[in-house]
Amino acid sequence: MTVDAPTPALLNVLRGAVDLHCHSGPSPFPRRIDHVEAAHDGARIGMRAILCKSHHHNTVMDLLAMRAALAGAPTSVYGGVALNSEVGGINPSAVALAIQMGGRCIWGPTVSAAQHLCAHRDGDGFPAAVGRLYEQEVSVFDSHGDVSAETCLVTELIADSGILLTGGHLDAESIRALFRTARDNGVTRLLLHHPDFIVGATDADIEELVGYGAFVEHELAMFHPDSAVPGWSIERLVDWIVKVGPERTVISSDLGQQGNPLPVDAYLTVVPQLLDHGISEADVRQMICHNTAFLLGLEETTAGATPGPSTGS
């Protein structure tokens, strides 16, 4: 699909967007763009910031190594670490390192979560030709079925630093236990990814998680006609926004993979559809600019002035 340059009206809606789910490279999975290219491409819509996610390694180290190339980038780029088996699973040491080096997000287990391993046991939706990575299942529970001591410590480290914790691809029961522990330990930035993809959260689960202060993320990749999976209708996303409310909804790209649209192209394609289906410009900006900026630590609250372009890195 060819994507036209944004009209001034659309650009006014998109300017200041923060993408919390960018899969730029490097990665063992094939990527269409690297972090530097993603930062420069963001200028097409005046993107404020990008959070670079890898399932396999600490992306803060990528960004530090790319510091010179990112120095002139128009979009700020941030990183973090996902707690999969490649970094030792629920590993407080890996979390402390990411935080100390400037990380803004700790993702719960994704490719090592039992829910993910079951959903993608045949490679559905994930590249198959990357070589065996010997991933092991990672759980937030100990052998007695209680939230593990390591998980508790991880949430304490996140609370002390004030950064974002996500539920990754854990099942709903695990995310409830993780977020409850995080809430009790003082974590104030919580994000549930794609509740209807892999995670399988019910309305009751979502109500409980939102009660802990969590935001619910939906990904443009799932509603773009040229994306690999799952090809859902825009009406489905509209229904989610109405049900949860724009004040607790986040929209990110989940793009950067080889063979998929560029993240910016997904904003240019899907956001106009939301506007055409009755979602107001103010509500769109709440979901792509304000809520996302709060979760990344760029704003203290989700309300207030419209964010402008950031010059930091």
Could you tell me which of 213, 253, 191, 222 has the C-alpha nearest to residue 18?
Answer: 253
Is 189 inside any structural domain?
Answer: yes
How does pLDDT run across 228-272, given as a tens digit for each residue?
777 899 999 999 999 999 999 999 999 999 999 999 999 999 999
Is 254 inside any structural domain?
Answer: yes
Is 37 inside any structural domain?
Answer: yes
Structure confidence at residue 126 as a pLDDT band (50, 70, 90): low
Distance CA 42, CA 199 (A): 29
Distance CA 202, CA 45 (A): 34
Provide the domain count of the chain.
1
Is 306 inside any structural domain?
Answer: no
Is 36 inside any structural domain?
Answer: yes
DSSP letters spanning 127-147: -STT---------SB-TTSSB
Is 310 inside any structural domain?
Answer: no
What residues make up the domain containing 42? 8-125+136-295
How does pLDDT run across 69-123, given as a tens digit for each residue?
999 999 999 999 999 999 999 999 999 999 999 999 999 999 999 888 887 665 5
Is 131 inside any structural domain?
Answer: no
If one counts every other C-beta atom within 10 angstroms of the C-beta of residue 126, the result is 16
Q: What's 84's domain CATH number?
A: 3.20.20.140
Is 300 inside any structural domain?
Answer: no
Amino acid 130: pLDDT: 52
